[in-house]
Chains A and B, each alone.
Chain A
């Protein structure tokens, strides 16, 4: 479960990115975070994986109040969160397999298990057998799917995605969203920040609308 209780975030320059945001996301739920640019979507995701600290309120991830979490405990928290970026942020000097294996290496998994898990994760995003390819050999959609495989390969209980379909065409975007829906059905709590409302409409998931750092509405 993921809980935000009266969370505000004010940056040192005085800009208040989030104001009294309260939100509860159940285990295995898929939630869309929508709103225009500057609404506070990315800030909210950053608060959940500890990149930013809230100025007020509590952020509780898997029962842990991360607003009070020591910096040295953050890595352990982040090992439980998969992250997908708009520009996928792959390492272009590493093979697809090495990119996907990164969270497993960080978790200290034996090489034989890593190879098995990487194959399975790539199979899940329809990139079976592409471990030895280089990212630049892949299309934009395939690169995004590698990014998703990397985000879920270590089976995190939470998955955060920041505009994951921002650079993709509608058909590919729908395909990617389908993958997220599958993960949520497997018990992963998925929170996706997007401004693509057309895409959100076709998905049966809760939508949290943000504007100027405030929650406007919760739509089913």
Chain B
């Protein structure tokens, strides 16, 4: 700092740009530590605030993770519409062979796979666990089947195809249930949007929580702010501690959210896996990866800083020395 020489009388002080930058950096370093220490001086209210922020962040995160795993399981199962054409004739008959050729010749069909009576029985025994009971039958009760993958996804075209196949000789029954798949996909889209909406709403909640906490702190420090401004503190100088407070509140809240998510995933993993196995699905709840954890912390800190900018700036500008 360059001061005027007293002997020559008093003149306004001139501060060099480099000194300003050094002072700015020093102030940030000091505040980084001081604001954390100040928050830690009231651990009860700090942990409560962190917990509230943590819960608000973890709820959409948990739902989002569940959906992500469901989407992965969905992709693994490679679900696509298929039509089951049950035959009224034996699989090794000429009618069955003719039917197979007719379907393979259709421009609306991608592929046709013949599942013989024996294959159907083996598959059913393996999947249902009723192998012993099935062996009690003197003959195989299951019909042969054609597994048809249509090129059409659903709607009127699919209905026409099903009706056409149903009329073909050698066909006993045609089962095409694409509706459940469409419903599932629609449900996934709704849930995805719900996660986004919840994420936005809870983020707004976090901003309001942090903003309100900071506003209360400002009110408790009003006289200090007024005096500081009287001695030449700029609005940015006065705001800086609150930016750091917002940062610590957001970051701490994100740490709590991480902990809540990991504990919840650990708590839910076993029953979810059991349920998925019961449905023969590969669905399983994973944990947050390192990248995802870092993102969560970044988002938390970012929300804290945003909250400080949005809610504190105008409030601080209104506080002026009297």
Contacts and interface: CB of A to CB of B under 8 A. Distances in A.
Interface in A102-141: 102-103, 105-110, 113
Interface in B226-244: 227-234, 237
A155 B2 CA distance: 11
A197 interface: no
Interface in B1-33: 1, 3-4, 6-13, 15, 19-20, 22-24, 26-27
B6 A89 contact: no
B233 A91 contact: no
Nearest to B237: A106
B23 A107 contact: yes
A81 B321 CA distance: 14
B228 A63 contact: no
A142 B69 CA distance: 69
A151 B157 CA distance: 87
A76 B4 CA distance: 15
Contacts of B1: 107-109, 113
A126 to B, nearest CB: 20
Contact of B228 (A76, A102, A113): A102
Nearest to A50: B321
A182 to B, nearest CB: 12
B218 to A, nearest CB: 15
B228 A106 contact: yes
A187 interface: yes
Contact of B13 (A89, A157, A187): A157
A75 B320 contact: no
Given A110-B26, A155-B3, A27 B20 contact: no
Given A109-B1, A109-B23, A27 B10 contact: yes
Interface residues of B, number: 33
A187 B7 contact: yes
A158 B24 CA distance: 25
Contacts of B224: 91
Given A51-B321, A89-B223, A108-B20, A76 B232 contact: yes
B12 A106 contact: no
A108 B23 contact: yes
Interface string A55-77: 00000011110000000100111
Most buried by A among B9, B15, B231: B231
Contact of B234 (A72, A81, A89, A91): A72
A113 B3 CA distance: 13
Contact of B229 (A78, A89, A107, A155): A78
A173 interface: no
Contact of A75 (B13, B223, B233): B233
A89 B227 contact: yes
A91 B227 contact: yes
A102 B128 CA distance: 79
B183 interface: no
Interface residues of A, number: 38
Contacts of A108: 1, 15, 19-20, 22-24, 26-27
A51 B6 CA distance: 27
Contact of A51 (B3, B237, B320): B320
A186 interface: yes
Nearest to A61: B12
B192 to A, nearest CB: 46
B322 interface: yes
B234 A75 contact: yes
A89 B226 CA distance: 10
A47 interface: no
Most buried by A among B22, B26, B227: B227
B292 to A, nearest CB: 40
A106 B10 contact: no
Contacts of B230: 49, 51, 78, 83
B228 to A, nearest CB: 6
Nearest to B25: A108
B305 to A, nearest CB: 22
16 contacts: A28-B10, A51-B320, A62-B11, A72-B234, A75-B237, A76-B232, A81-B232, A89-B223, A89-B227, A91-B227, A108-B15, A108-B19, A108-B22, A108-B27, A109-B1, A155-B13
Interface of A: 27-28, 49, 51, 61-64, 72, 75-81, 83, 89, 91, 102-103, 105-110, 113, 150, 154-158, 186-189
Given A108-B20, A187-B9, 8 more contacts: A51-B230, A91-B223, A103-B232, A107-B15, A108-B24, A157-B12, A186-B6, A187-B10
